[in-house]
Structure 1
Amino acid sequence: MPPVKVGHFQTLDLSAENKAIIQDQLYGDHIISDPVLNELLRSPSLSRLVGVRQHGISSLLNFTPPITRFEHSVGAFLLVRHVGGSLEEQVAALLHDVSHTAMSHVVDFALSEPGEESFHEVHKMRFVKTTQIPEILSKYGFEDLKPLDEELYPLVEMPTPHLCADRLDYGLRDAVGFGSLSLEEARRIIACLDVCPDATSPDRLIVLRDPEIALSLANGYMRCDRDVWGNPSHGSLYTRTAELMRSSIRSGGVREDDLWRLSDEQFWAEMRKVVDSKGQEAMDRLESEALPNGKDLPLPRGAKVRTIDPDVYDLSSGKAVPLSTLLPEYATERERYIVARRALYE
């Protein structure tokens, strides 16, 4: 069986029973022989994420590249592996997005309550209990299912504006996909990564060794927010699609469990079968129109303003120092950006 393309930047070769070969344009080629990782990579509950796009409706309509939740999950795991994280932390990284639904974060606008966590986080264990993941984890000594709680692992999940494998992988992957960073710049950033004080410390942080490279990452990340993540044009696509998703599920035409059963394309097709004529027209417009002009559009109230303040290893003190402390001009630029974006809220 030849390698299979599992994302915009990634292929996966599972032809051998005892190893997986990952080819990732950001992280290079990796042979994975750890039994638990091999079994998880082959599990239907994880591989279904190949059909779930990172950017929901924006990607389904081809306004952003087809980066998948699967390649991001694998990327986060490779990043933890790259900086020396334990096998347990690698497993946590691989599984951190396992409960993402069709259309990714569109569902948050459709079904989440105001102020609630992301839908996939709220319903993570509900989904996981229907899968073979608990059995796989228990088989390899994780009877407590601890790796399913990514917040216990600082390399995987950290509060903003710090770096973590989740935030860093989707930031780099999207930045290259959107043209905010070149592939070469992304690879230089990855090569510059380190962990402070070390990969086993309870207070471990992902850091960069060079403030100028940290600045290029921070600026590329901010451009992603401006151009896509926090762009009112894309926000409009999300809210319009969320209305269709909400009405399709609440009418009973589409089952909520289909969110975890279907790919983006399949879920879109199921909605088209059940919406009324008004919904059909709305879907037709989404499929045929250009990206909306965001000049006069507000940001949806639930939209985030995403920035980072990467920690940089300071040789003189041997400690991690925020980039904004080393470069006060970046602190000013970041604050101005946040204020300007919040002014766009509805």
Structure 2
Amino acid sequence: MSSQINTGFLQTLETINDKQVIIRDKIYGEHTITEPVLSHLLQSPELLRLSGVCQHGITALLGFGPRVTRYEHSVGAFLLVRKVGASVEEQIAALLHDISHTSLSHVVDYALSKPGEGSYHEFHKARYLKTSQLPQILTQYGFGDLKALDEELFPLVEMPAPQLCADRLDYSLRDAVVFNKLSLEEVQRVYETLKAAPSPDAPNRLLVLDDPQLALAYARAYLATDQDVWSNRAHANLYLRTGSIIRELVESGRVKEEVLWILSDDDFWALLREKATPDILRELERLETESLPDEKQLRLPRGTKIRTIDPEICLVGSSQDKPLPLSVVLPEWGLERQQYIDSRESTRE
């Protein structure tokens, strides 16, 4: 008997049986998955946990944005590399690239990350995987070397900023739609024109676009989303305040770190309220009831990323032998991108 669940703001998952899953995504369309390892992973508790974890952490939980989930983003990254012909192993890597994300996502970076460690979920990924069934699942289907759990081995999944990769492309396309930076039709055109160059199995493979003007519209939408959401100073303020609460409750022993990989955002928030001291409870209630702070009165925290994109372009009918960054194809974009970075850095504390 089939069953269907909403896995995110833009996506549903229908389970036909243990070997067949149908993904319906408002950006990427409908996809029937029949590969046994992929069907198993899509229905695994470890991955389904991410349907209760918001991409935007505390701001989404408090209603300052839509509840796009880590699950739908993980599936989106998987569909992108699948679309360009990636190997099953690289598809697995895309699907599992965010598997160790905690409740409230990057809020926990502000709470528990130590200098030099980077993102909390990445630093503690091996710790989390030891508690999961994922290594056994991968071994069952012939991926026992577990390379698929290291997304940095797969160029279509992860590349350094500002290059294009499935992770960066999916979260930005979803946010471009839900925060009205691009139309659904424009985002779907980006998906439709996406390719892997020189091929999906070449060691130096890249995700590329073929229309410079469409790429420019996407890159500008990326900056607009960064300004209004990802590096928005008011949003960062909520992250800092919530992170301080989590740090205090974890360091005091009132909340155990292990629950970060077990609970949904809603359940974790309820636990914070349950374990809070009177002072902390008052701060939680302020977060729940106050409006967003005035960004003009705030500085950008030192640890907050400024995000930009410079996608590679492979021009149709061109004699060029390799893709070129958009900033090379359209030099004005390189100047615009640098001006944006400088303007955002000028607001940093």
TM over 0.5: yes
1:63-142 correspondence runs (5 A): 63-142=64-143
SS of residue paired to 2:313: strand
Q: Which amino acid aligns with 2:319?
A: S
1:341 aligns with 2:344: yes
1:319-338 correspondence runs (5 A): 319-338=322-341
Q: Which amino acid aligns with 1:248?
A: L
SS of residue paired to 2:160: coil
Task: Please list the CA deviations of residues 70-90 of structure 1 after superposition, one character each: whole Å capped at 9, or x if unmatched.
Answer: 000000000000111110000
Q: Which amino acid aligns with 1:340?
A: S
SS of residue paired to 1:131: coil
Contact 1:114 1:302 in 2 (8 A): no
SS of residue paired to 1:6: strand
Contact 2:18 2:40 in 1 (8 A): no
TM-score, structure 2 normalization:
0.98
Task: Please state how far the C-alpha of 1:177 moved relative to its aligned partner.
Answer: 1.1
Q: For residue 208 of structure 1, what is the aligned residue in structure 2? A: 209
Q: Which amino acid aligns with 1:321?
A: L
Q: Which amino acid aligns with 1:332?
A: L
Task: Please list the CA deviations of residues 259-317 of structure 1 after superposition, one character each: whole Å capped at 9, or x if unmatched.
Answer: 00111011111111112111111111111111111012011110000000010003221
Contact 2:57 2:104 in 1 (8 A): yes
Quote the Cα distance in structure 1 between the aligned partners of 2:162 and 2:20: 36
Q: For residue 149 of structure 1, what is the aligned residue in structure 2? A: 150
Quote the Cα distance in structure 2 between the aligned partners of 1:72 and 1:313: 26
Which structure 2 segments of 5+ residues have no match? none
Quote the Cα distance in structure 2 between the aligned partners of 1:200 and 1:186: 25
Q: For residue 219 of structure 1, what is the aligned residue in structure 2? A: 220
Task: Please list the CA deviations of residues 207-244 of structure 1 after superposition, one character each: whole Å capped at 9, or x if unmatched.
Answer: 00110111011011111100000000100010000011
Which structure 1 segments of 5+ residues have no match? none
Q: For residue 13 of structure 2, what is the aligned residue in structure 1? A: 12
The percentage of aligned residue pairs carrying the same residue is 55
Q: Which amino acid aligns with 2:95?
A: L
SS of residue paired to 1:29: strand
Task: Please list the CA deviations of residues 107-160 of structure 1 after superposition, one character each: whole Å capped at 9, or x if unmatched.
Answer: 001000123221110111111111110000001111111000000000000011
Q: Which amino acid aligns with 2:184?
A: L
Q: For residue 314 of structure 2, what is the aligned residue in structure 1? A: 313
Contact 1:8 1:67 in 2 (8 A): yes
Quote the Cα distance in structure 2 between the aligned partners of 1:318 and 1:198: 13
Quote the Cα distance in structure 2 between the aligned partners of 1:269 and 1:342: 36
Quote the Cα distance in structure 2 between the aligned partners of 1:196 and 1:11: 30
SS of residue paired to 1:12: strand
Aligned length: 346
SS of residue paired to 1:200: coil
Pairwise CA RMSD: 0.8
Task: Please state how far the C-alpha of 1:167 moved relative to its aligned partner.
Answer: 0.3
Quote the Cα distance in structure 2 between the aligned partners of 1:115 and 1:186: 35
